[in-house]
Amino acid sequence: MTDTETRPRPLLLIVGPPGAGKGTQATRIAETFGIPAISTGDIFRANVKDETELGLKVKAILDAGDYVPDSLTNELIGDRLAQRDAEAGFLLDGYPRTVQQVEFLDEFLGGRGKALAAVVQLVADRDEIVERLRRRALEQGRSDDTEEAIRHRQDVYLRETAPLIETYRDRGLLVEVDGLGSIDEVATRIDEALTGAGFRPTASAS
């Protein structure tokens, strides 16, 4: 067995504004490092579809038009991270979103002798992102996706993530990457940034 095959895989988090291509890049990073990309949206949908006990709770909350509380979101994330494929490493997308979720993740990983290795932040000019999303909405005939609505989502993202980003910056975990450009250009920047921070891809991805 080679050194590359035995090298521990990283525990990563990716954050970025709506429209920055975070989901696409999350999938590519996960493939590069041979780790699962774990999205809160995917977890919610999977549990609702499978009608698990947690999924039924989520469905009832969403059907009522309410937000899934931190306590339930944390329970779902803990259940997913405890699964075998996430034991060696993972990439979180869409979690944590609140300080309480950061605290839960710290405690969950700490209880297993683990910790996040890096937080990839896709940075993009707000006006350029808004224009990109506005053009996409027009192309897809989504007349309800107005510039006002798009800017509101950007504001919500900034308000929610600012405290988290500063927390991870203070810990020295933040890896900032320019999120504007083609998918391949951004992916290359992410690879170079993570390599520069000391992370190397798995044997199967190299």
Q: What is the rounded CA–CA span in Å between residue 16 and residue 38?
A: 15
Annotated catalytic residue 22: yes
Annotated catalytic residue 132: no
Annotated catalytic residue 112: no
At position 179, the amino acid (one-letter code) is G
Catalytic residue among 57, 97, 114, 200: 97
Q: What is the rounded CA–CA span in Å between residue 13 and residue 117?
A: 8
Q: What is the rounded CA–CA span in Å between residue 130 and residue 135?
A: 9
Catalytic residue among 7, 151, 153, 200: 153
- Residues 6+ positions from 90 with CB-CB distance below 8 Å: 11, 12, 35, 36, 37, 38, 81
Annotated catalytic residue 80: no
Catalytic residue among 22, 80, 134, 189: 22
Catalytic residue among 49, 112, 135, 142: 142
Catalytic residue among 49, 112, 136, 169: 136
Query: CA nearest 22: which of 5, 6, 37?
Result: 37
Q: What are the tokens at 52?
A: 């698990």
- Name the CA dihedral angle for 23, 25, 27, 33, rounded to a multiple of 10 degrees: -150
115 C-beta neighbours (distance < 10 Å), count: 12
Annotated catalytic residue 153: yes
Catalytic residue positions, numbered:
22, 97, 136, 142, 153
